[in-house]
Each structure stands twice: as structure tokens, then as C-alpha cells.
Structure 1
Amino acid sequence: MKKLNYDWSKSHDYPKLNGLKVFGTFVCGGGSTMGYKLAGFEHLGGVEIDKRMALVYQINHNPKYFYLEDIREFNNRTDLPRVLYDLDILDGSPPCSTFSMCGKREKGWGVEKVFKEGQKLQTLDDLVFVYCETIDKLKPKVAILENVPGIVAGNAKGYTIEIVERLNESGYDVQIFQLNSATMGVPQARERVFFIARRKDLGFSPLVLDFQEPPILFSDIVEKNSTTHKPLWPSISIRWPYIEKGDQNMKFADAKYRNKTTYNAFFSTTILYDNVVAPTLTSSGTTVYYDEVRNLNDEEYRRMSSFPKDYDFNDMDARYVLGMSVPPLMTAHIASEIKNQWFSNC
């Protein structure tokens, strides 16, 4: 794979196909899909339940096979094309909010909810195991399950053990990698856990992943004197005089503003400086550029996530789509190593 730049174009930078096929589940807006394409894979399509995300995905990728439905419905299908039973890679990023280290995550385990994406009443922590059923059904050569670091921490380790056991029973050896996108050419320090399962009958050696690209600072992607950003919320502007340089969020400024010794708000407001790598971009919240006291604009969010310049968000909030997505360059680096180490003859 040629060295990739975070500022690329999907209309010009996809390489020739390498002969390998991948299919995605929980494809969201297509971040991982673009990563596989950047690594030369043929992306056959995917499964997505959110109608808005599905439209964005289809506009940008024109998939050959696409299923707008619950992953459980997909698993119950008896009419899938034969090519989906002969995949080189099956990819999936089951929703991860119940494993996030933010908040009281354990309280969300086993709780049935209805989500805005349009799903029926369900428990999100079950979806990792539903995806394991997808792997067992399709039997790809390689399966990847991406999630937040919280899935391997604390009480959630029980989920990790069960995932590995289920995949072992399905005929896979599993490796778990905790990776940071900042070491992979992405201008964002987004940590994610990847369960990478290889089918036992293929005799693949364990995968080695060691990414050491130099960090890209926010100063490298910022648009100085931006005029396209959204205005700050008044609640942030009124607290800004209490910000001290170096504050990463507004919790201390909020306490000073209210003349309190405790703080209980504004954790979701991130303050960015030129000399740092941008932290994980979430699908909600506010990110303020300290030097210009302003929101980031969509172009900065796009660069931060290594999405292409010509990506069509179809009038959706760019931050929401990007915050829900795996950075394409992150997936591209992993996929390239899998290709080089396990499919070098292709």
C-alpha cells in the first residue's frame, strides 16, 4: 500500500483491486469500507439499520449487496448470495456505548432500550454476540470485531472471554489488539480494540501489528481564521473568561463561573490546542479551538477523521457521522497488514 495522507480523495486515491473480498456489518457511514478500499480490497456491501446512515453509505459506495435491516434479520436470511459465504474478511463494529469507560456503563448492561436509529427494543451488549453468530454463519477466512477499549477493561472482561470462546467454538483463533489511530497516520488519538479472528483450518501464523507513524498535531490540520464554523453556545461563551490555558474541558471553568467547589457539567466540551493530537472525536459534544475561541468546522473534523475531501454527508451532521465511524486510514493499515501477512500470494 502506498503511503496514505489523511487529506485524500475517494475519486482518485483508491488503488487497483488486490483480489480480496470484504463485507461489512454495522457499516454506519462507511469509514471502515473506505479503509478496505484504500488497501485494495473489493468491498461487496454491508448491513446497516439506521436509514440515514444507510443512505450516506449507499451514496458514497454504491454497494453490490446491501441490507437495510437488523443484524438478526440478516442472520436469519436464507437468500444470501454465495459470494458472502466465501469472504476473505468479514468486518463488524457493533454499537459500543454500553462498553464505554465514560459514565456508569454497567448500568446499561442487559437493559432493553429503543434507539434513535430505528431499532426495535434491544440490549446493545448482546450485539457483539449476534455478530459472532454472523461470523459462524458466513465462515469468512478472517473476521474483525472492532469496539471501544472498555470492552476489555474491568467487569467487561467477561464479555471478552465469551467472545473468544464463541469464536473458538466456531473454528477461529482470536487475537486482541488495542490500537491508537494516531500511530497510523490519522490526526486523532482514537483508541480502539480489534478482535481479529483467523480460521483455524487455514494455518495462518499469528498476526503482528506494530504501527509507529509520527503523530500529526492539530496545528497541521487547523484552518486558521475559519469563517465556516458554527457559533459557540452562549453557555460556553459566558464561561470562557474562566478558562485557563491547558484546560482540556470546561469543568473547572464551570465551577469558577458558578462559584462552586464542585463541578458537574461540560465534560463533553473539549478544548483543542495547536501542539496536541486531537483526542477521540465523539458523535456529540463540542470541540473548541483555544487560539480562536471557536467551534471546529466540518473540514477540520473531516481531516481529523481521515475521511476523503469529496465525501458526501448528504446533509447529515458531519461530526455525528465522523464520530460514529472508524477512521479509514486506521482500517487501511490493519487491512494491509492482513493482506501482506496472510494473503501475500494475492
Structure 2
Amino acid sequence: MSKLKFIDLFAGAGGLSEGFVRAGFKPVAHVEMNKDACDTLRTRTAFHWLKEEGRISEYYDYLHGITTRKELWSKIPDHLIKSVINTEISEKSLPTIFEHIDEELGSSKVDLVIGGPPCQAYSVAGRVRKDMTDDPRNHLYKHYVEFLKKYQPKMFVFENVPGILSANNGHYLQLIFDAVREAGYELDKKVLNAQDFGVLQDRKRVIIIGWKNNLEIEYPQFYKVEQRFEVAKHLFSDLPKIKSGQGEWGVSPYIQDTNDYLKASGIRNGIEFTTQHISRFNNENDLEIYRIAVDKWVNEGKRLNYAELPPRLIKHNNTKTFTNRFQVVNHKGVSHTVVAHICADGHYYIHPDIIQNRSITVREAARIQSFPDDYFFESNRTAAYKQIGNAVPVLMAEGIAKEIKTLKNVFNVE
């Protein structure tokens, strides 16, 4: 039986897509406006194709720097590279996007549409910064619905931040529900937490799931994974110990054997190295604050209040708000939410090991988002952090995909 096919909209670096691929679905197209994220998607597409062809060593050659990205991409069928569509989804671009997807589909049908529009317009933080009422991103759902109308998938998955529930007093959410129902679908929503899917991160997201209104199904039941692992002990412990400004963009060997969590999550999946374990350089002022924050958190279980620092270390005039701007990753349990702001600075994601005294690396951030260690984020360190912060955790996506796949009378998959 051929794999179930999906289209990924507003795809980002592919966290949602990766989860569905691991659950046995096949991407027809990824649509994403950010070039760096599209380059990451193309590299991951090369990984999956080479793996299926029994040529995975050619992907590892790229990670080792033996071959270039251009050479890597040239090894896979051209239509797969073109299936990553680097464009903004708009009324103007829809016909061209549809044309590309139709060419890739041929006579096949789309089983599923996944993805979530950029969340800034729905986020509480975004609404604090400015009046978002007229932000065009509030209306990207209309373009999402156009894909449902054209391709008539049996189901769809729409992901967004919890702020979408309260944006404009729930008006935007109601508009989405009305538009989807008018297109011939029934739908429901729940706030799901990534840690309940085995991700070592407290990350809540609204997951809207819809289905053709002639299907007699309900919103899937997701069963919580018992969380018994810790960030420091199970997620970070096998990575080389480095300090501020150290690490490798390329290959880094592990310093310990794998463990139950890394195996079960698929983060370590057989190879003896990873990449992008590289940290930011921090000035001495920040490093001293990091030491205070780690000591306070690890030894007292308390968060640092910026306003209570010694005056000589305070460089921001604002000591009334964002007083938690320096925060240590929880070493004993799950991390707090990783967001795109990690690309600006690492102060909110300080490594819990006071000896290393730094913010977390690109690879550590990717692990908190449950990306496998062979996932390579293209462009540069800042772009990689941004892609990771915007992503859907892979394990969460996989859990959702597996449950959807088993729904009776929908896909009829054994």
C-alpha cells in the first residue's frame, strides 16, 4: 500500500512534517516563505530519500563536510527539491503553488493537510507589542481553507499558540471554525502539551483537527506518556562539555553511550556523532549573571529576579518588567518553552551546568524540541535557533500522526 500523502503549509523547518513522516505519511509538498527553513527542508528531504535508497552514507558525507550542500541536493530527484516551495502563501501566489503541487501529485490524492500559520498575530506577546487587529497574518487561515477546498483531504491538522483562543475575544477562532465548516469539514480543538508526548519541554499548543463532514469520527484521544526523564541527566549528558563561544558547527562525537530516553525518542538513532553543538560567545558581565542564576536555581530552586542583581551587573534601564529575562533550563525535569526569541540571545536558556557557564547550543535546543541528532538546520547559528524555536516538537507531531492514522473508517491502514 502506498504511503498516505500530505501537504505541509507554513512548514518552517519541518518539525510537524518529520513527525508525520516517522508515522508513515509521505510529504507531497512543503510550502514555506523563509529561505533558510526551505533549505533545511530540502536537506532533510535528501536525508529521507537517501535513507530509503540505502545510500545514507552520502548524507553523512555532507555532515562531515566531505560534500557540499549543492552536491547533496544533486543526488536526489529534482522534483523532490522542487516539492519544497519557497514562497509566501497569499491570494496572489495560490495559483502557482497549486500548479506546483498538482505537478508533483499527478493522479494521486492528498490524504491530509497539516500546518499552522505564523503565530505572532495570535500570541499574547505579539498583541502586547502592537495592535494586531489589522495584521494580515490574522487572515492566513483563509488561504489554508483554500487548500482544503481544492484538495479535499479526509483530514487536516492546524497548529497554533494558545493565544489564538483569546485573540480578539475568540473572534478569530470563530472565523476559522466557520470557514472550515463552510468548506465541508467538521473540527474540534484541544490544548495539548508537548511533555505529554514524551518531549522534555513544557510547551502548550492549540491543535485543531478536522475531518470531512461525512466521516463519523471524533477528535482523537491522546494518552499521556509518563514523564520520568530529566534534561541534564538524559538529554544533555552525552554531548561534549563546552564553554561560552566554543563548540563545532560540524561534527561532534558523543562523550557517553546512549540512554533509554535518547533511544526511545529517536534523538540518537545509530550514528556516533552529531552536529551544530555550538554555543554563543557571552561577555563577562552576562557570564557572571549566568553563574548567579545557575547557583540560585540549582542550589535553592529559585529563579533569578533581574532587579535583585548587584547594580554593577544591571545594564537594562527596565527593572520593572521582564525581570525573569535570565532563566536556567530546568535540569531536574522538563525545560520551559523554547521560542524563536532564542535567536536574539540565549539569556532565557542558560545551561544548568555552572562549569560550562553558557547558554544552550543549537543542538541542545533542537533536542529540547525532540529533533533527531542527524537533523541539520541550514544557514547559520542565528537562523538555526529561529527555525528550532518556531518548530513543532517532532515527538508531539509523531504522536498526533500515529493516532490519526489509526482512526477507523478514515484511511483504512493496517
Equivalent residue in structure 1 for 2:306, among 233, 251, 255: 251
Distance 1:101 1:215 in 2: 31
Cα 1:171–1:267 shift into 2, 3 Å:
same
304-313 or 81-90, which moves further after superposition? 81-90
Cα 1:196–1:254 shift into 2, 3 Å:
farther
Deviations along 1:205-242, whole A, 9 cap, x unmatched?
44222333325321221247721333334442343465
Which residue does the alignment assign to 1:335? Answer: 401
Cα 1:261–1:307 shift into 2, 3 Å:
closer
Cα 1:250–1:56 shift into 2, 3 Å:
farther
153-162 or 181-190, which moves further after superposition? 153-162
148-157 or 225-234, which moves further after superposition? 225-234
Distance 1:108 1:167 in 2: 26
Is 1:196 aligned with 2:180?
A: no
Cα 1:67–1:262 shift into 2, 3 Å:
closer
Distance 1:156 1:76 in 2: 33
Is 1:146 aligned with 2:159?
A: yes
8 Å contact kept, 1:18–1:41: no
Amino acid paired to 2:17:
T
8 Å contact kept, 1:218–1:273: yes
Deviation at 1:69, TM superposition (A): 1.4
8 Å contact kept, 1:93–1:145: yes
Distance 1:289 1:109 in 2: 34
Deviation at 1:269, TM superposition (A): 3.5
61-70 or 79-88, which moves further after superposition? 79-88
Which residue does the alignment assign to 2:331? Answer: 274
66-75 or 262-271, which moves further after superposition? 262-271
Equivalent residue in structure 2 for 1:209, among 217, 222, 226: 222
Q: How does 1:23-62 map to 2 (within 5 A)?
A: 23-62=7-46
SS of equivalent to 1:263: coil
Deviation at 1:88, TM superposition (A): 1.4
8 Å contact kept, 2:330–2:336: no
Cα 1:154–1:55 shift into 2, 3 Å:
closer
Cα 1:171–1:141 shift into 2, 3 Å:
same
Aligned residues with identical type, % of pairs = 24
Amino acid paired to 1:277:
V
Point out the structure with the larger helix share: 2
229-238 or 136-145, which moves further after superposition? 229-238
Deviations along 1:130-173, whole A, 9 cap, x unmatched?
22232223221111110001101363511111111111111111
Distance 2:163 2:24 in 1: 31
RMSD: 2.8
Distance 1:267 1:18 in 2: 50
Which residue does the alignment assign to 1:158? Answer: 171
Which residue does the alignment assign to 1:322? Answer: 388
Cα 1:184–1:233 shift into 2, 3 Å:
farther
8 Å contact kept, 1:251–1:264: no
Deviation at 1:111, TM superposition (A): 4.2
SS of equivalent to 2:227: coil
Which residue does the alignment assign to 1:232? Answer: 282
Which residue does the alignment assign to 1:222? Answer: 236
Amino acid paired to 1:42:
K
97-106 or 46-55, which moves further after superposition? 97-106
8 Å contact kept, 1:248–1:272: no
Distance 1:283 1:131 in 2: 23
Which residue does the alignment assign to 1:109? Answer: 132
Distance 2:163 2:115 in 1: 17
Give the alignment's TM-score, normalised by structure 1: 0.82
Unpaired segments ≥5 residues, structure 2: 47-79, 248-278
Is 1:76 aligned with 2:95?
A: yes
Unpaired segments ≥5 residues, structure 1: 1-16, 113-122
Deviations along 1:20-72, whole A, 9 cap, x unmatched?
11110111111111101110111222111111211111111144623221212
Is 1:309 aligned with 2:373?
A: yes
8 Å contact kept, 1:22–1:41: yes
Deviation at 1:104, TM superposition (A): 3.7
Distance 1:106 1:137 in 2: 36
Deviations along 1:287-307, whole A, 9 cap, x unmatched?
112332321122321211111
Amino acid paired to 1:307:
F
Deviation at 1:106, TM superposition (A): 7.7
Distance 1:261 1:325 in 2: 30
Q: Alignment length, in residue pairs?
A: 320
Amino acid paired to 1:226:
K
Is 1:91 aligned with 2:141?
A: no
Amino acid paired to 1:86:
K
Deviations along 1:110-134, whole A, 9 cap, x unmatched?
345xxxxxxxxxx222222322232
Cα 1:312–1:294 shift into 2, 3 Å:
same
Give the alignment's TM-score, normalised by structure 2: 0.69
Greater Rg by CA: 2
Cα 1:87–1:108 shift into 2, 3 Å:
farther
